[in-house]
Amino acid sequence: MAKLSFVFGSMNSAKSARLLATNHCYLEKGMKPLIVKSTIDVRNGRYNHGEWGKTTSRAIPQGAECLFLESGRFNEMERFVDLIYTDVILVDEAQFLMKDDVWYLSDVVDEYDLAVVSYGLKTNAEGELFEGSSALLAMADELEECRGICKCGRRATHHIRMSGGVGLVGEAGIESEDVKYESVCRRCFKEFFRK
């Protein structure tokens, strides 16, 4: 029986690396995985709705082929792929999904008996749930946490946004040369915001 799964964790907890490893395992068995990702994520380049590109991880920079879809339009996936010939859907950066996207993916599980495994952040740099993550926490059949490590040695559950060694608060930004994210435990996260 197929399931909707959500694998979540802080930044640098190897979520995308796990997605790529899962993709590799399916390919090795002669199966057809499909990786999909929101066009909001531009770390690997800018892609249009329905365009094929690459998704990568820091650990696996060669990445794998990926279908990019606009958030809120994942229900148009079948315009670009035939789900009959797909063995599993792997969603990278699932925090960028909209609630309707999660409902559509749950329909794919229920109607096609096709497994969907989503990988993403649970919260943003202010500690608030992303819309997609909130919907996945509510709808997923299985939840799994990827474990990251804080600079203090505890389990990283959050992340903070930094630029030039200074913490940034306010509107979330995409990781770039100027903006980096640091994985932290809840205690270090709270200390950062109490400064």
Which residues have a Cβ under 8 Å from the Cβ of 42 and sit 6 or more positions away?
Answer: 174
Name residues whose C-beta falls within 8 Å of residue 75's C-beta, 6 or more positions apart in sequence: 100, 101, 104
Buried b (16+ CB within 10 A) or exposed e, 20-45: bebbeeeeeeeeebbbbbbbebeebe
Q: How many CA atoms lie within 13 A of 168 on its CB side?
A: 18
Q: What gap in Å lies between CA 92 and CA 121, rounded to an integer? A: 10
- Per the listing, tokens 């709270």 go with 190
Distance CA(83)–CA(115), nearest Å, equals: 11
Q: Catalytic positions, please?
A: 93
Cα separation, 43 vs 176, whole angstroms: 8
38, 69 contact by CB (below 8 A): yes
Cα distances (angstroms) measured from residue 132 to each of 50, 109, 138, 194 = 19, 17, 10, 28
